[in-house]
Chains A and B, each alone.
Chain A
Amino acid sequence: MNAVLLSVLVVPALGILAVGAGAWTGNRRLGAVLGTVFAGVGLFAAIALAADHSGAPWSRLTWEWVPQLGLDFDIGVDGVSYPLVLLSAFLTFLCCLYTVWKGAPGGREDQLIALLLATNLGMLGVFLSFNLVLFFVFFEIVLLPMFAIIAGWGGPARRHASVKFALYTLMGSLLLLVGIFVIVTQAGTGDIIELTASGGGGLSRGTQLLAFTLLAVGLAIKAPLWPLHSWLPDAHTEAPTVGSVILAGVLLKLGTYGLIRVAVGVAPEGAEQAAPTLAVLAVVAIIAAGLICLAQTELKRLIAYSSVGHMGFVLLGIATLTEAGLTAALIGNVAHGLITGLLFFLAGSVKDRAHTGELARLGGLREVAPGLSGLLGFAAIASLGLPGLAGFWGEAFAVYAAVQRDQTLWTVLAVVAAIGAALAAAYLLRMLRLVTHGPPGEAVAAMSGTRLRAVEVTSFVPLAVGVLAVGLLPFIVQAPIGAAVSGILQAISR
Chain B
Amino acid sequence: MSRVAWALALPIIPAVAALAGFLVPLKARKAAAAVGTAGSAGAAVVLFANLRLGLPELPEIEASSLDGPVLVRFGDVAVTLSAGLSQLTWWVAAIVVLVALLVQVFSVGYLLKDDERYAPYAAQISLFTAAMLLVVVSDDLILLLIGWEVMGACSYLLIGHDRRLPEAPGAAVKAFLVTRVGDVGFLLGILVLGFNAGGFRYGDIAAFMTESTATTVFTVTALLIMLGAIGKSAQFPLHTWLPDAMAGPTPISALIHAATMVAAGAYVLVRLSDLLVKGDVRIVLAVVAMISMVLSALAALASDDIKRVLAWSTVSQVAYMMAAVSVGATATAIFHLVCHGLFKALLFLGAGAVIHMAGTNSMSAMGGLRKGAPVTFWTMTIGFAALIGLPPLAGFFSKEHVLSAVYDSPDGAALFVVGLVTALLTAAYATRAWLRTFFGKTRTEGLRAHDPNPWMLWPLVVLALPTVLFGLFAGLTPLLHGDTHPTAMGLTMTAVAVGIGLSFGIWRGDKAADPARTLGPLRTVFASGFHLDAVQNTLVVRPVLVLARVARRVDLSVVDGAAEGTGRGVGGIGRLVALGHRAGMPRQVVSVLAGALVIAAAAVVMGVWG
Contacts and interface: CB of A to CB of B under 8 A. Distances in A.
A446 interface: no
B148 A387 contact: yes
A414 B194 CA distance: 14
A475 B70 contact: yes
Interface string B536-567: 00000000110111111001000110011001
Given A230-B555, A475-B71, A418 B187 contact: yes
B170 interface: yes
A370 interface: yes
Most A C-beta atoms less than 10 A away, residue of B26, B150, B194, B548: B548
- The number of chain B residues touching the other chain, given as a range, is 35 or more
B187 A474 contact: no
A131 interface: no
B181 A422 contact: yes
Interface string B67-81: 000111111110100
Given A230-B560, A294-B544, A387 B146 contact: yes
A143 B567 CA distance: 18
A403 B73 contact: no
B149 interface: yes
A489 to B, nearest CB: 10
A390 B93 CA distance: 27
A422 B177 contact: yes
Contact of A370 (B26, B166, B180, B550): B26
Nearest to A331: B72
Contacts of A296: 552
B559 A421 contact: no
Interface in B7-30: 22, 26
Nearest to A430: B173
Contacts of A419: 184
A225 to B, nearest CB: 12
A477 to B, nearest CB: 8
A422 B180 contact: yes
A469 interface: no
A400 B552 contact: no
Contact of B75 (A229, A324, A370, A421): A324
Interface in B550-594: 550-552, 555, 559-560, 563-564, 567
A328 B177 CA distance: 25
Nearest to A415: B188
A293 B146 CA distance: 25
Nearest to B173: A429
A293 B142 CA distance: 28
Contacts of B150: 386-388
Contacts of B148: 387
A425 interface: yes
Contacts of B149: 386-388
A474 B71 contact: yes
B183 interface: yes
Given A323-B75, A388-B150, A230 B188 contact: no
Contact of A426 (B177, B192, B551): B177
B120 interface: yes
A374 B547 contact: no
B84 interface: no
A387 B190 CA distance: 13
A422 B195 contact: no
Nearest to B73: A478
A429 B77 contact: no
Nearest to B541: A426
Contacts of B181: 422
Contact of B563 (A231, A328, A397): A231
A381 B152 CA distance: 11
B176 A327 contact: no
A374 to B, nearest CB: 7
Contact of A429 (B177, B544, B549): B177
- The number of chain A residues touching the other chain, given as a range, is 35 or more
Interface string A421-437: 11001100110010001
Contacts of A230: 555, 559-560, 563-564
B15 to A, nearest CB: 9
Nearest to B168: A437
B169 interface: yes
Contacts of A425: 176-177, 180
Contact of B170 (A294, A418, A433): A433
B157 interface: yes
B337 interface: no
Contacts of A374: 22, 120
Contact of B72 (A323, A406, A475): A475
B187 A227 contact: no
A387 B156 CA distance: 15
B191 interface: yes
A12 B487 CA distance: 83
Contact of B549 (A288, A295, A400, A404): A295
Interface string A148-179: 00000000000000001001100000000000
A291 B544 CA distance: 8
B75 A327 contact: yes
Nearest to A327: B74
B145 to A, nearest CB: 5
Contacts of B166: 438
A139 interface: no
A264 interface: no
Contacts of B176: 425, 429
A172 B461 CA distance: 70
A366 B161 CA distance: 10
Interface in B518-537: none
A89 B544 CA distance: 40
B485 interface: no
A421 to B, nearest CB: 7
B160 interface: yes
A478 B168 CA distance: 40
Nearest to B550: A291
A377 B173 contact: no
A292 B188 contact: no
Interface in B37-82: 70-77, 79
Nearest to A474: B72
Given A230-B555, A367-B163, A475-B72, A429 B191 contact: no
Contact of A295 (B79, B173, B177, B548): B548
A322 B77 CA distance: 12
A401 interface: yes
A396 interface: yes
A393 interface: yes
A327 B142 CA distance: 17
Given A230-B563, A322-B75, A426-B177, A388 B552 contact: no
A399 interface: yes
A473 interface: yes
Given A324-B75, A414-B188, A475-B72, A404 B195 contact: yes
Given A294-B544, A400-B195, A425-B177, A370 B117 contact: yes
A397 B187 CA distance: 10
Interface in A72-121: none
A374 B70 CA distance: 32
Contacts of A401: 74-75
A397 B72 CA distance: 11
Given A164-B567, A230-B560, A399-B188, A291 B153 contact: no
A381 B153 contact: yes
Contact of B548 (A292, A438, A474): A292
Interface string B221-264: 00000000000000000000000000000000000000000000
Given A327-B75, A374-B22, 15 more contacts: A230-B564, A292-B555, A295-B549, A295-B552, A323-B76, A387-B149, A399-B187, A399-B191, A400-B77, A403-B191, A404-B75, A421-B184, A438-B169, A474-B71, A475-B73
7 contacts: A167-B567, A367-B163, A387-B145, A422-B177, A422-B181, A425-B180, A475-B71
- Smallest CB-CB A-B distances: 10 pairs: A324-B75, A323-B75, A291-B551, A437-B169, A230-B560, A294-B548, A324-B74, A474-B72, A295-B548, A295-B552
